Homo-oligomer: A and B are copies of this chain.
Amino acid sequence: MRHILKTESVEFMDYTDRRAGFIFKDIARFRARLFDRLLAPHGLTTSQAWVLAQLFVEDNLPQKEIAQRMDVGTVTVGGLVERLEARGFVERRVDEEDRRIKRVVLKPAAIPIGRIMTTCGIEVNSATFAGFDEALAQQIMDSMLKVRQNLLDALQADTEVLTATDIVLGKEKA
């Protein structure tokens, strides 16, 4: 098994190294720490802000729709909306056409948040890509988008295997 070799200031790592598996996790955690610090003064968390971002794109969405756009469960969205409602940023309204549905609408208090989120986002991204030129940052984000899709595909394939015709696809799991 190959490992890390450290030079003056930069470490290079075999991408199959065991530590590699946790780089992505650390990046997400550290970004969330930064973001949460910046948003805390405004009484918001990163995930709550992300819900608001969905509503800025399109207001009056059912919770289910928000969950799908965020790739999280309806339960998680329920909790986030609950807290956003308690803080006066949004309001839940039962859909008159289909009374199973609760639609989430922005309240005036949420309006200034958009600008704040943009500012915080820029700050976190500029910390993330400090020392990278713009072209490289762009190239990395394109790769990241591909990686994200790879993982979605893998998760999708995995569930299919678990629920359907394992033998036909020859994709059996341990």
Contacts and interface: CB of A to CB of B under 8 A. Distances in A.
A16 B146 CA distance: 17
Contacts of A154: 30, 34, 127, 130
Interface stretch (A17-25, A60-68, A80-88, A100-108): A17-25
B143 A132 contact: yes
A28 B30 contact: no
Interface residues of A, number: 64
Contact of A21 (B71, B121, B174): B121
Contact of A32 (B25, B32, B141): B25
A87 B30 CA distance: 30
- Looking at A118, A122, A125, A147, the one whose CB has the most chain B CB atoms below 10 A away is A147
Interface of A: 10-16, 18, 20-35, 37-38, 41, 50, 53, 71, 117-118, 121-122, 124-125, 127-132, 134, 136-138, 140-148, 150-155, 158, 173-174
